[in-house]
Structure 1
Amino acid sequence: MSRLGLALMGFIVCAPAFALPPPLTEAEQLRSVTSPVTVTREHVSADIYHYQFEFRAGSTPNARIRVHRIVREISPWRPRPTSRAVMLLHGDFANFVTNFVPALGHPASPSPGLAPYLVSRGIDTWGVDRRWTLPTADGDVSDLGGMGIDQALGDTAAALAFARATRAVTDLDPGRIVLGGFSHGAQLTYAYAAADGRHISAIAALDIYYDIAPEDADLRALACANAAAERDALAQDVTDSDNSFFIAAGELARSAPDETSPLFPPYTNRGVLLTLSGMTYLFAPYTPLYHLSAPVLDTEGNVTALRESSEDSVSAWFASATPHQSMREAAEFDEIWCGTAQRPGLANIRVPLFYLGAAGAFGEHGLYSTTRVSSADVTAHVVRRFGPERAAEDFGHGDLLYAADAPTLAWKPLAAWLLRH
């Protein structure tokens, strides 16, 4: 293990029930369902476009719901109708764009993105950003303390209803859609399906656990300790679990990779990026060898390169992180893992479930949660390169989104399942 590694340890819009009118353009339809709403459109690739909708959801500074749609167009502002749709929830230090359409991030990533991939296969792809993604680095975060799971569940319900109402007009399809999520977005997906379930036909969880297996008692103990620390921070009015460290690590690795890191001297900025992403368990041991990106290790256990995702894509992921993140949400997610949260259980979930794991991250540790649902339709797929003895080098958490082989190893089985559900 490297010395750096050792250092790292120290509105709700209802779908129309009346006869549907002829298809309108996206902008015309949006003006008819709610006002005011801000709508933007930008090109992704070929005939694929990104729509962003934003509308108020209260009076606090960040009481806005930001909904995304990635779609193929017949002509400008006119989406190509589909019979399948999914809404994706992002993970930590990210938003919908940086997780699922990273080529549109700042900085732009070379990864083509899961959302355009799904759209190119006939799956209308939506997303919603949690409110902590909205304020800028120096923005007003006075309402950050209220940004917990319940708020996120409400915003998810609103976004799903908005998506269904839009699809009822643009696709003539008001039916339920699949809810999916990556990382803590997948934990939120489980929570939504267990507590509410409106608007959804199935769920897809990308690399997470919700209930921790009995044999993973040490992981539960870690979650309990983290929850206690986060609750203590909240009691001291610390509401922002900011992402400045990730941003700095990504930016420095991109701008001055060979210079000495100000974060962990005497290591280089590139060395910090490689260790943070390739040996993530040193500071976030969600599983014993959990890592964001599969590393190439030398004989002394140092990360010398990344095996699956390019350094360009990983540094862009870090550098494009949202400045702020909710401490309350972090505490509530950890309380679910700890088993102290008073929330509906997985047995309430009866819709079909697809679990996609990464062998070097949550991987097989996420399978226990799939056995706790009441659904008779459960599919699990864990992406792996090696046997258990090489878990430290295997497919990582972020590799599911950014790896060169992600389209073949992860996205193809997900898309095939979505097309059946």
Structure 2
Amino acid sequence: MRRTMGLWVTLALLLALRANPGDAHEAALQVDPWVRSLVSAGVAASSTKREALGGGLAHYTWKVRVGPDRYDAITVHRVVRESSPWVPARTRRAVFMVHGDLWGFVPAFLTRTSVTMMPEDRSLAAFLASEDVDVWGLDLRWVAVPEAETDFAFMADWTLGTHVKDVGTGLALADVVRRASGSGGNERMFLLGWSRGATIGYAYLDAESQRPRGQRRVDGFVPMDMVLRFAPEAKQQREWACQRYLLLQMDRDAGRTEGGLLGPGAGLPLRLLGMLAAQHPEQAPSPLLVPPSLATLPALTNRRLAIIAAGKTETLFEAFNLKALTPDYHLTATIPDAAGVPDKTAFTPEPLLFGYFQQAAPYQSLNEVVETEKQLCGLDVPYDDHLKDVKVPVLYVGAAGGVGSYGEYSLRLLGSTDVTRLIVRNRPEGQRALDVGHADLFLARDARVRVWQPMLQWLEAH
């Protein structure tokens, strides 16, 4: 059956490529050489996988080669309700999700951590699929780079533009598969990007806006908790971005190709921190390096250090003499002790957080981080020249303790007139240090009610 599914996907791609040259869809595929290479190589046929999720849902994956080097590959994901095993149900609405730093599609959107089977209301992708939305997404190239790798020269040419192209390949695959299975018709997809995935989403739409209408694949955009450019009044945050850009640019000029805001191999210590917090929570002092600003505290346990990393994420930036993206930026909200130090999580269960840390990808390419910081610094980049031509409906979802309202100015750079804003908050702006965090949008106990349900309503309305 798995082979049959793969052959069906490849046949769908071949039919799309051999369609009437005057067809708008054929024209779109003609400008995507990676789709043609996928078809000729038969990659989809040899690597289609299916995983039952329960509740009548399934998770499909395709390994797609997008270049000549060994790590030039992406994994395309699909989470969908099935009529029967290997037979996805027909749907009208579809969304394509792009993850951000550290976490690929599965930990970011399926919330699959140390728990084998997550209930439907604990995963954004499964929740939407259970409501008859066809959910697609991808793992960017660096997600699959193994922990044992030491030579990262292959990352030298990976840029935001590379990821934009890969998103286009994923969208093309989703498009032809949906058409072949009877879903979608002429319906386009929504594009959702979280964190740096939103930056990639903006760049994709910027490029797609220059194509004829019939060659576009996205008809709605959901940027989640990210800023593209800071508002003129956010001078301090722009200065912080410039500092990060200059430091990272120096590293790149020195020949480094791997790394992110928290240094080379940032996923490795985060994975270890999650493992120690889950398996040896009360071990003290923790064997991991404690940020300088925490050095005066009594010996920290593994559990406490993990909670601080999530709830006071800015301390991780301080270890590199940097400032975070926004003031008091954090991954998940926490409850502090009498001294004001995070003591326990506020909205996300601790076991889920610790499992989430363990799913971090070991490595990331440096170029896209440098380019993003350059853009945030206000300097010229090739990814936002046509934002005024982007006129699709937009839903911005912000976490008040993450990027939050800082991401709203970016919406004004678009040509869209149908713009909805959802800032998830529990406290006034002056208390953002304790408010809903960047990853609480997916991990919090009440995320389904406060984030996913309003998102579903917006998708249905558009």
Q: Superposed, which structure 2 residues align to 1:162-311 within 5 Å? A: 162-174=173-185, 175-197=187-209, 198-241=216-259, 242=265, 243-259=267-283, 260-264=285-289, 266-282=299-315, 283=317, 285-311=324-350
1:154 matches 2:154: no
Q: Which moved more, 1:318-327 or 1:229-238?
A: 229-238
Out of 360, 373, 376, the residue aligned to residue 414 of structure 2 is 373
Q: Is there any run of 5+ residues in structure 2 with no aligned partner, and where?
A: 14-38, 210-215, 260-264, 291-298, 318-322
Between the aligned partners of 2:97 and 2:61, the Cα distance in structure 1 is 14
Between the aligned partners of 1:141 and 1:70, the Cα distance in structure 2 is 32
CA contact (8 A) 2:91 2:183 kept: no
CA contact (8 A) 1:85 1:178 kept: yes
Q: Which moved more, 1:208-217 or 1:382-391?
A: 382-391
1:335 matches 2:368: no
CA contact (8 A) 2:65 2:73 kept: yes
Between the aligned partners of 2:193 and 2:92, the Cα distance in structure 1 is 20
Q: Which residue of 1 aligns with 2:144?
A: 134
2:230 aligns to what SS in structure 1?
coil
Between the aligned partners of 2:337 and 2:419, the Cα distance in structure 1 is 39
Aligned length: 397
How far does the alpha carbon of each residue in 1:157-179 deviate from its partner, in whole angstroms, 9 at most, with x for none? 11101100110011342431011
Q: Superposed, which structure 2 residues align to 1:334-413 within 5 Å? A: 334-343=373-382, 344-345=384-385, 346-413=387-454
2:427 aligns to what SS in structure 1?
coil
In the TM superposition, residue 26 of structure 1 has moved relative to its aligned partner by: 4.2
Sequence identity (%)? 32
CA contact (8 A) 2:74 2:141 kept: yes
TM-score, normalising length: structure 2: 0.83
CA contact (8 A) 2:226 2:398 kept: yes
Q: Is there any run of 5+ residues in structure 1 with no aligned partner, and where?
A: 1-23
Q: Superposed, which structure 2 residues align to 1:2-151 within 5 Å? A: 26-32=5-11, 33=13, 34=39, 35-37=42-44, 38-103=47-112, 105=113, 112-139=122-149, 141-151=152-162
In the TM superposition, residue 195 of structure 1 has moved relative to its aligned partner by: 2.2
Identify if the C-alpha distance between structure 1 residues 28 and 413 changes in structure 2 by more than 3 Å, giving closer, same or farther. same
CA contact (8 A) 1:109 1:316 kept: no
In the TM superposition, residue 183 of structure 1 has moved relative to its aligned partner by: 0.8
Q: Which residue of 2 aligns with 1:15?
A: none
Q: Which residue of 1 aligns with 2:25?
A: none
How far does the alpha carbon of each residue in 1:224-254 deviate from its partner, in whole angstroms, 9 at most, with x for none? 1111111111122221212212112111111
How far does the alpha carbon of each residue in 1:127-163 deviate from its partner, in whole angstroms, 9 at most, with x for none? 0111011111114643122221010000001110110
In the TM superposition, residue 293 of structure 1 has moved relative to its aligned partner by: 0.4
Between the aligned partners of 2:118 and 2:270, the Cα distance in structure 1 is 19
Give the letter for the 1:310 counterpart.
Answer: P
Between the aligned partners of 1:237 and 1:109, the Cα distance in structure 2 is 42
In the TM superposition, residue 196 of structure 1 has moved relative to its aligned partner by: 2.1
Between the aligned partners of 1:225 and 1:354, the Cα distance in structure 2 is 30
Between the aligned partners of 1:216 and 1:299, the Cα distance in structure 2 is 32
Give the letter for the 1:302 counterpart.
Answer: V
Between the aligned partners of 1:211 and 1:161, the Cα distance in structure 2 is 29
Q: Which moved more, 1:54-63 or 1:259-268?
A: 259-268
2:422 aligns to what SS in structure 1?
strand
In the TM superposition, residue 348 of structure 1 has moved relative to its aligned partner by: 2.8
In the TM superposition, residue 107 of structure 1 has moved relative to its aligned partner by: 6.5
Identify if the C-alpha distance between structure 1 residues 409 and 172 changes in structure 2 by more than 3 Å, giving closer, same or farther. closer
2:200 aligns to what SS in structure 1?
helix
Q: Which moved more, 1:282-291 or 1:163-172?
A: 282-291
Q: Which moved more, 1:140-149 or 1:206-215?
A: 140-149
Identify if the C-alpha distance between structure 1 residues 26 and 355 changes in structure 2 by more than 3 Å, giving closer, same or farther. farther
How far does the alpha carbon of each residue in 1:359-416 deviate from its partner, in whole angstroms, 9 at most, with x for none? 1111111111112211110000101112223221111110001000000001111111
Identify if the C-alpha distance between structure 1 residues 253 and 402 changes in structure 2 by more than 3 Å, giving closer, same or farther. same
CA contact (8 A) 1:39 1:51 kept: yes
Q: Which residue of 2 aligns with 1:5?
A: none
Which has the higher relative contact order, 1 or 2, with Cα contacts under 8 A spaced 6 or more apart? 1
